[in-house]
Structure 1
Amino acid sequence: MNTEKKRNKLMEVQKELSFSGAFYAKKQDEIITGSSGFRNRAEKLENQVDTRFGIASGCKLFTAIAIAQLVEIGKLSFETKLQDCVAEKFPYFDKDITIHHLLTHTSGVPDYFDEEVMDDFELLWEKFPMYGVRAPKHFLPLFQHREMQGKPGSSFQYNNSGYILLGLIVEQATNRSFPSFVEENIFKAAGMNDSGYFEMDCLPERTALGYVEELNGKWKTNIYSIPARGGSDGGAYVTVRDMAKFWDALMDYQLLSEEMTREVLQARECVDEEDNIFYGYSGYMELDDNQEVIKYIQMGYDPGVNYRAVHYPHDKKTMIVCSNESEGAYELLKEMERIM
């Protein structure tokens, strides 16, 4: 199937899925892009390939790289204890929690959004105003004085609070805000000129509003459904092209040294034995029977945000899907993987 036929097929799939967003697929020198739906439904402004989309937890990898950069310059180590690198007090937290535990979701700290207990992110903000949440420290009242949910190092349990703590660590190690550090040392370094940690009430041009479908079939924006500004556990805005630039920069050792890049991309915690899915500092990855990485996997979900991306290191394939609705990215990505 030639490039034009592949692109036409993917445009058909977008239509079948009623997909709203943009996609980017690259296999060596072959690049296919596309978009559909509206970044602003009221004004009928269409999504484009250069539209900026929120990616929710898809940017936990940026946090891990920020930490790794500080490890490289000797500000931290992966075995540095939480209590030794933040000023805030956590009276019920285990004293042996390390940066490694936080990165791998094995810290046991209480998760401010426990997906096993609560499945609707919007419910968090009924009693805790989202418009005031604009920095890692603003999340602390949601979990700072709660009991541990497990022992450090005991088992993998996906944890957003751990990444909030990593954001605090970055801020206190660098004496600057987490967004500014990532924007300077990752986005700028990778040439991601359209990406940033934008505030919901001050979005720049070409940014998609997130949309949530209500039970009556109407659509509302997600402005009251997520924090006013994302941070170290998720919430950056990117374009699909910028995310392709990110993977190129990471794999070409522009963000970290070759040795540290290998450290970040290494598999560490098995989270699904049947499908051979592991977690490392870089997030999820699928391994083959020889324990070699088949692909790295990014995903992010918020009300009005749906993001999926994969990078195949040996085939030099990168596929990215950003949506400004709550569903559709996974289904489109699966079709992209099949076609590419």
Structure 2
Amino acid sequence: MSLKIDSIISGQKFNGVILVATDSTVIYSKAIGFSDLENKTKLYVNDQFVIGSISKQITAVLVLREYEKANLKLDDSIGKYLTQINQPWTKDVTIHHLLTHTHGIVDLNEPLEFEQGSQFHYSQLGFELLAQILEKVTEKSFEQLSTELFENYGLKNTFHPSNKKYEHLVKGYEENKNGILVFATNSLDNYVPAGSFISNAADLKKWNENLYSGKLVTKENLKLMTTKYATRIHPIFETVEYGYGLLFTDGEQNIQIGALGYAPGFVSACYYYPRENINLVILENTADNLDNFKRTFEVHTEIMGLIKKRTHNKTYKQ
């Protein structure tokens, strides 16, 4: 396994951290490159990265935890909570629609793009609205809610960016039109619930362990997260199914499930392979070939394919 991952990395301009592990055994762990390209500061496996859309499953868990407390229902209309939005569609769009990108909201001051529930349109705004609903239900800020969750489950390197206690956040770099990697100053500009949490490889491994063992949400509600609700024509996977914050190929929830993440300068993957209880975390802080995301995520998807093939055929040997 290690030699094959090394072979994938060789010849690629990869700058980041790769972790492959079961709950108890580290199969592969390596930091490659720099946390600060200008100063050639060495990158370490415990360094922190912006995790992009991996953030969505965190927000989905926070929603489901309130659902478990009977503080909200997934079929509640968002107008029940977001009374400040003066649009007739708030009576029809539900929390479930927000979680599954099937709500049709493109702007809070415009009509829906399509009838709620009828189509899929990937949306950062929908997860920001989920955070606002959580704030209304709990009377706590989204920062406070997420921080409490991380602290309760021992995720000491995972942060809402407004919580300035993080000390090892690396710099992210994007390739400009001249093919030169430049510091991305807007890495944290995404809506936090959709794409701006900060974490490291060890914490994301622990997140997977807690999530898929039913510690973050009940096994029944984990099933909701891993149910196919919508299909997307994806820029990397071509066709992919969406649950609540989790992605998978149709019928492969028990083979490979998780999420990719992109924030300016940060290219990430966090996946779980249930058949062999393997966690894969890839955190990169250089982003090139932005006109072709398949190439941007090439190392990530090749390693994913390697592990998927092994676990799918049950031929993996430690």
Q: Which of the five TM-score ranges fits, normalised by the shorter chain? A: 0.7 to 0.9
SS in 2 for 1:50: coil
- Separation in 1, partners of 2:16, 2:9: 9
Aligned equivalent of 1:151: 115
Q: How does 1:1-340 map to 2 (within 5 A)?
A: 6-27=1-22, 29-91=25-87, 93-110=89-106, 143-185=107-149, 187-199=150-162, 204-224=166-186, 226-227=188-189, 230-271=191-232, 277-288=240-251, 293-327=254-288, 330-337=297-304, 338=306
Amino acid in structure 1 at the alignment position of 2:230: E
- Conservation of the 8 A alpha-carbon contact between 2:54 and 2:245: no
* Total equivalences in the alignment: 298
Amino acid in structure 2 at the alignment position of 1:21: G
The alpha carbon displacement at 1:254 in A equals: 1.4
**RMSD between superposed Cα atoms in Å:** 2.5
The alpha carbon displacement at 1:329 in A equals: 6.7
Q: What do residues 214-265 of structure 1 show as CA deviations (whole Å, max 9, x unaligned)?
A: 22344322124641x7511110111011111001001222111222222222
- Conservation of the 8 A alpha-carbon contact between 2:125 and 2:191: no
Structure 1 moving runs of 4+ over 4 Å: 272-276
- Conservation of the 8 A alpha-carbon contact between 1:189 and 1:254: no
- Separation in 1, partners of 2:193, 2:8: 33
- Percent sequence identity is 23
- Separation in 2, partners of 1:248, 1:256: 12
Structure 1 unaligned residues grouped into runs of 5+: 1-5, 111-142
Aligned equivalent of 2:313: none
- Separation in 2, partners of 1:231, 1:302: 11
The alpha carbon displacement at 1:30 in A equals: 4.6
Q: 1:245 to 1:276 in 2, by over 3 A?
A: same
Amino acid in structure 1 at the alignment position of 2:270: A
Moved more, 238-247 or 215-224: 215-224
Structure 2 unaligned residues grouped into runs of 5+: 289-294, 311-318
The alpha carbon displacement at 1:179 in A equals: 2.1
Q: What do residues 23-48 of structure 1 show as CA deviations (whole Å, max 9, x unaligned)?
A: 11124635211111211122211221
SS in 1 for 2:302: helix
The alpha carbon displacement at 1:157 in A equals: 1.4
- Separation in 2, partners of 1:12, 1:234: 30
Q: 1:218 to 1:332 in 2, by over 3 A?
A: closer
- Separation in 2, partners of 1:276, 1:326: 23
SS in 1 for 2:255: strand
- Separation in 2, partners of 1:181, 1:301: 23
Aligned equivalent of 1:137: none
- Conservation of the 8 A alpha-carbon contact between 1:80 and 1:99: yes
The alpha carbon displacement at 1:270 in A equals: 3.2
The alpha carbon displacement at 1:207 in A equals: 1.0
- Separation in 1, partners of 2:113, 2:85: 17
Moved more, 69-78 or 316-325: 316-325
- Conservation of the 8 A alpha-carbon contact between 2:226 and 2:253: no
The alpha carbon displacement at 1:108 in A equals: 0.6
Amino acid in structure 2 at the alignment position of 1:320: V
SS in 1 for 2:92: coil
Q: 1:270 to 1:230 in 2, by over 3 A?
A: closer
The alpha carbon displacement at 1:10 in A equals: 2.6
